[in-house]
């Protein structure tokens, strides 16, 4: 009876083992395999980034004050030297007007002095003529020395008066020159109360509203030139090594637009944390309107490769800190390092051929050296 019992248990255990072998062990050790295929590859490297700008120009006020005539909108195109706003400059205008009024008064005084000078000069000529006549009389002893000196003094006083008036006129003329220089300086300063665009482009940001009070050198808008717009993208350093300046690129914007571009700049320093390389791609023709920080997918065409040994990209594995593939040989798994020559989409080109490659499956047994493999 006991023998029969043990026999039954043995049969059950064997059945369970067979069932486990067929339902668990074999499926967990069954992997899809593929062979190396010869194929041409259009190598494209994909990265994700955002629309940005090489330069963002801040238009600022030189002097602070209340802002007037500021009617610019975000998204509006402005031309270089276009009037953006004015700073309230009532005090400066009052100063200029006051100086101009003072110049008018000075000019009127000059005209009056010129008339006095002309009259005084006539008097001087008269006194000179009288002196000449009396000099002859004095020489003939017809008049006394005292009388002669009186005529001489009258002539000298008349001459001095003409000279004095002339000096006053010159002084007033110098005052006019100084006043005009002051006006020029104030008008130059007044120009700085006028805010103009420093570059042609689109307004991407407004910092203030009309009639706000601002400080010296405070920015009021940001302007981006279309020629400066780019996509700032990050690409894994393992696949970005072949990217070169001026490589063709295809840009897909989140808004749905598909555009052509080119590699404009490559950051020489990789990101040590993410192991990514920053690559800047510019548009052949910048879309209008454009939206800074809009997400974009960039595909960069780096080469057309002929007759390459290709396998699915998902076949690439890491084992013992090496990159390679698992191959099937004599029913067992063996890891071999490979050199990846290029990547394109879901394919990679490798330096090995004539091998049967195992496709790793995270839902199945972790591949190990010498592991028994069943293939589909």
CATH number of the domain that residue 177 is part of: 1.20.58
**Ramachandran category for residue 3: left, alpha or beta (phi over 0 → left; psi -120 to 50 → alpha):** alpha
CATH assignment of the domain containing 70: 2.40.50.100
The last residue of one of the domains, among 247, 270, 305, is 305
Closest CA to 289 of 49, 51, 47: 51
The answer to the question of residue 13 being in a domain is: no
**Whether 321 and 233 share a structural domain:** no
313 and 164 both lie in a single domain: no
Pick from 290, 286, 306, 301: nearest CA to 246: 301
Strand-pair category, 77-78 with 201-206: antiparallel
Residues 126 and 268 reside in one and the same domain: no
* 77 and 217 assigned to the same domain: yes
Residues 145 and 94 in one domain: yes
For residue 345, the domain's CATH number is 2.40.420.20
Phi, psi of 91 (to 5 degrees): -60, -40
Using the structure block, give the residue that is written with the tokens 């700085």. Answer: 192
3-class secondary structure, 86? strand
Same domain for 314 and 187: no
241 contact partners, CB below 8 Å, separation of at least 6:
none
Contacts of 200 (CB under 8 A, 6+ apart): 77, 78, 79, 80, 225
Residues 310 and 245 both lie in one domain: no
Q: Crossing angle of helices 145-191/90-139, nearest 10°?
A: 160
Other CB atoms within a 10 A radius of the CB of residue 170 amount to: 11
Residue 255: domain span: 46-54+227-305
pLDDT 10s per residue in the chain (376 long)? 555 555 555 555 545 455 544 555 667 678 899 999 998 887 778 888 999 999 999 999 888 888 989 999 999 999 999 999 988 876 777 888 889 999 999 999 999 999 999 999 999 999 999 999 999 998 988 999 999 999 999 999 999 999 999 999 999 999 999 999 988 887 877 777 889 999 999 999 999 999 998 888 899 999 999 999 999 999 888 777 778 999 999 999 999 999 999 999 999 888 878 888 999 999 999 998 899 999 999 988 877 778 889 999 999 998 988 889 999 999 899 999 998 877 777 888 888 888 999 999 988 888 999 999 887 6
Q: Quick one: 151 and 171 in the same domain?
A: yes
353 in the same domain as 364? yes
Residue 76 CA: distances (Å) to CA of 25, 176, 222, 285 = 68, 46, 11, 19
Q: Is 71 part of any domain?
A: yes
272 and 298 belong to one structural domain: yes
Number of domains in the chain: 4
Please name the helix (run of DSSP H) or strand (run of DSSP E) that holds residue 76, with its range, or none: none
Give the CATH number of the domain where residue 254 resides. 2.40.30.170
In a domain, 22, yes or no: no
Q: Same domain, yes or no, for 74 and 206? A: yes
The residue among 270, 289, 305 that closes a domain is 305
Please check whether residue 11 lies inside any domain of the structure: no
- The reported pTM is 0.56
Are 185 and 114 part of one and the same domain? yes
* Residues 264/281, Cβ–Cβ less than 8 Å: yes
């Amino acid at each position: 009876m006991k023998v029969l019992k043990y026999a039954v248990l043995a049969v059950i255990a064997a059945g369970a083992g067979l069932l486990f072998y067929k339902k668990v062990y074999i499926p967990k050790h069954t992997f899809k395999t593929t062979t190396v295929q010869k194929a041409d590859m259009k190598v494209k490297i994909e990265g994700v980034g955002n629309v940005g700008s090489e330069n963002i120009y801040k238009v600022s006020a030189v002097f602070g004050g209340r802002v007037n005539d500021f009617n610019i909108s975000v998204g509006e195109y402005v031309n270089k030297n276009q009037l953006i706003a004015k700073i309230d400059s009532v005090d400066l205008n009052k100063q200029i007007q006051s100086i101009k009024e003072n110049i008018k008064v000075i000019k009127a005084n000059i005209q009056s002095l010129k008339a006095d000078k002309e009259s005084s000069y006539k008097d001087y000529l008269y006194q000179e003529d009288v002196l000449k006549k009396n000099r002859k009389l004095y020489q003939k002893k017809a008049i006394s020395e005292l009388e002669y000196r009186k005529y001489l003094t009258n002539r000298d006083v008349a001459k001095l008066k003409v000279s004095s008036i002339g000096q006053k006129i010159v002084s007033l003329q110098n005052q006019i020159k100084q006043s005009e220089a002051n006006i020029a300086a104030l008008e130059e300063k007044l120009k700085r109360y006028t805010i103009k665009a420093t570059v042609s482009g689109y307004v991407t940001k407004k910092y203030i509203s009309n009639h706000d009070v601002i400080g010296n050198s405070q920015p009021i808008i940001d302007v981006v030139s279309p020629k400066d717009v780019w996509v700032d993208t990050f690409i894994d350093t393992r696949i970005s090594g072949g990217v070169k300046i001026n490589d063709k690129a295809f840009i897909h914007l989140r808004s749905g637009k598909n555009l052509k571009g080119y590699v404009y700049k490559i950051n020489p320093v990789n990101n040590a944390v993410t192991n990514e390389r920053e690559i800047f791609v510019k548009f052949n023709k910048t879309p209008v309107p454009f939206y800074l920080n809009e997400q974009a997918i960039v595909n960069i065409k780096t080469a057309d490769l002929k007759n390459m040994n290709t396998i699915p990209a998902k076949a690439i594995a890491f084992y013992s800190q090496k990159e390679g593939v698992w191959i099937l040989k004599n029913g067992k798994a063996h890891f071999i390092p490979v050199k990846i020559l290029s990547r394109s989409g879901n394919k990679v080109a490798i330096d090995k051929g004539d091998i049967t490659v195992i496709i790793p499956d995270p839902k199945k047994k972790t591949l190990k050296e010498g592991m028994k493999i069943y293939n589909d």
